[in-house]
C-alpha cells in the first residue's frame, strides 16, 4: 500500500501523465478541426437534418 501511495504522489509520473493527457486532447482537437475543414458539407447536412428551422 505504501508503494502505491508513493508512486501516485511522485511528481515525475504525475507530470508525465499530464503531458500524455494534454497531448492526447490537443491531438484530438487538431483531428476534429482537420476533419471539419475537409468536410464542411457534413456540417451543412447536419444543420439541415437536425436543427429546427
| 1-53 tens-digit pLDDT | 555 555 555 677 889 999 999 999 999 999 998 888 878 777 777 778 777 66
Domain residues for 19?
A: 2-50
Q: Which three cell numbers stand for residue 25?
A: 486532447
- Rounded to whole angstroms, the Cα distance separating 32 from 44 reads 16
- Kindly tell me the sign of the dihedral angle through the C-alpha atoms of 14, 16, 21, 22: positive
Could you give the number of structural domains in the chain? 1
In this prediction the pTM is 0.50
Amino acid at each position: 500500500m505504501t508503494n502505491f501511495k508513493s508512486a501516485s504522489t511522485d511528481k515525475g509520473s504525475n507530470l508525465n501523465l499530464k503531458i500524455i493527457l494534454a497531448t492526447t486532447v490537443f491531438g484530438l482537437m487538431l483531428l476534429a478541426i482537420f476533419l471539419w475543414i475537409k468536410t464542411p458539407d457534413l456540417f451543412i447536412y447536419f444543420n439541415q437534418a437536425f436543427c429546427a428551422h
